[in-house]
Amino acid sequence: MRLSSFFMPTLKETPTEAQIVSHRLMLRAGMIRQTSAGIYAWLPLGYRVLRKIEQIVREEQDAAGAQELLMPTIQSADLWRESGRYDDYGKEMLRITDRHDREMLFGPTNEEMITDIFRSFVKSYRQLPLNLYHIQWKFRDEIRPRFGVMRGREFLMKDAYSFDIDAAGARRSYQKMFLAYLRTFARIGLKAIPMRADTGPIGGDLSHEFIILAETGESGVFCHKDWMNLDVLKDAPGMEDDLQPFFDRITSIYAATDEKHDPANSPVPEADLVSARGIEVGHIFNFGTKYSKPMNAVVAGPNGESIPVEMGSYGIGVSRLMGAIIEASHDDNGIIWPDAVAPFNVGLINLKSGDAETDRVCAELYAKLESAGLEVAYDDRDERPGAKFADMDLIGVPWQLVVGPRGLKNGVVELKRRATGEKEELPVEAALAKLLG
């Protein structure tokens, strides 16, 4: 992408309305624009990252055997009356009346709808286990939306729903998602710690939140210091293996949100306990028959008997993740994207647009990198070098390739790694070879 034609409205000033660094940086980098309180448009740079996060989430759900579908945003109130949650949900639910005066709502989650789909089609235990997920925009009418996409009203969530014939099956489905979540966050480049958590309005008795440590986190968290240097996926089993030993091993290392942590009865000696703040990026629940019983989602068992299915639900805040990544990975100059979700792989900086030789070398590098499948942000704008350096640092592209007339006279270009600031002068071909790896 040539930045001269790319719609990336970066800001020089720090927006005053943004309280946390991810919100400030997303606004400054021209990634989002607020269109109403807590509602954002994703500008091209932001949307590129959002789609990459979404794709990693999708691939790991698929790898765990979950199947993707897509439920609509608008739901009927009647479904929520069946589960009893229509009145419970309160003002966070965006309630809507259509032209025929039917009561509708913008879905904040989908337990009811997926249970309805399930009961319409699945009649036998032989069709289980089943795990269905979608990645869809949800709405929660937060009284005071804030922190940019971290606590917005319209947000993108992946939610999966598992159906099993018995508690043992449901436990296995839960463990698969537990492993899938650890894999997902690791691929994105995040260290997410699973913590025992309250189940809240979703219900059930087994639940983990996946939490990224960050100073700006909304929740207080407590964990054993062993978490700090743990490679959580070391010796992890495959999806088809018995996951119980792995699950037991990981969950035996203490980690709990402040709601669950009881200082008087902490199982970890104070010297080994880390108290920190965190950002919730995922939440998984096993809630048994909480929805299947009232909604009559039953299947015929081996002996023909009617059995209400055991369910779980598994959420990842896809749009929120973008904020969490930035909170966990930035410096004074801007964002530092992990490679897996970076909007571009390489930022190519032309130090003197209009200089024939510099333009020629840049155009050649741009073509070669793109044709090798790398995504390149080519800064061919008519701007001062300082502005180009600042913007490229701000948008956080992992590699910067800097090309100018002075270097070219000596046959060299500069390659900079955004994360470390490490710079290296090297011949054009060597830089290319290094990037093409």
Q: Could you give phi then psi for residue 413, rounded to 5 degrees?
A: -130, 170
Could you tell me the CA-to-CA distances from 397 to 37, 368, 401, 434 in Å, in that order? 29, 18, 10, 16
122 vs 430 by CB, closer to its own copies: 122
Distant-in-sequence, close-in-space partners of 115: CB < 8 Å, separation ≥ 6: 83, 161, 291, 292, 295, 297, 311
Residue nearer to its own copies on the CB measure, 15 or 267: 15
Cis status, amide bond into 129, omega within 30 of 0? yes
Q: Of 70 and 356, which has the nearer Cβ to its own copies?
A: 70
CB of 192 to its own copies, least distance (A): 25
- Identify any residues that bridge with 314 across adjacent strands, giving them in sequence order: 160, 284
Q: Are 283 and 210 a contacting pair, CB within 8 Å?
A: yes
User: CB 110 → its own copies: shortest distance, Å?
Assistant: 9
Q: How far apart are CA 311 and CA 171, in angstroms?
A: 10
Which residues in this chain contact its own copies in the complex, by CB under 8 A?
5-7, 9, 30, 33, 35-37, 39-44, 46-47, 50, 65, 67-76, 91-92, 94, 96, 98-99, 102, 104, 106, 113, 116-117, 120-122, 130, 132, 137, 139, 141, 143, 153-154
Cβ of residue 155: shortest distance to its own copies, in angstroms?
Answer: 10
Nearer to its own copies, 51 or 417 (CB): 51
Q: Least Å distance between CB 138 and its own copies?
A: 10
Q: Which is nearer to its own copies, 72 or 201 (CB)?
A: 72
| Minimum distance, C-beta of residue 406 to its own copies, in the bound complex (Å) | 28
- Comparing CA positions, the residue from 293, 277, 234 lying closest to residue 115 is 293
Distance CA 242, CA 256 (A): 25
Between residues 35 and 275, which has the closer beta carbon with respect to its own copies? 35
Nearest approach, Cβ of residue 290 and its own copies (Å): 21
CB 204 within 8 A of CB 286: yes
Which residue is listed with tokens 């500069």? Answer: 414
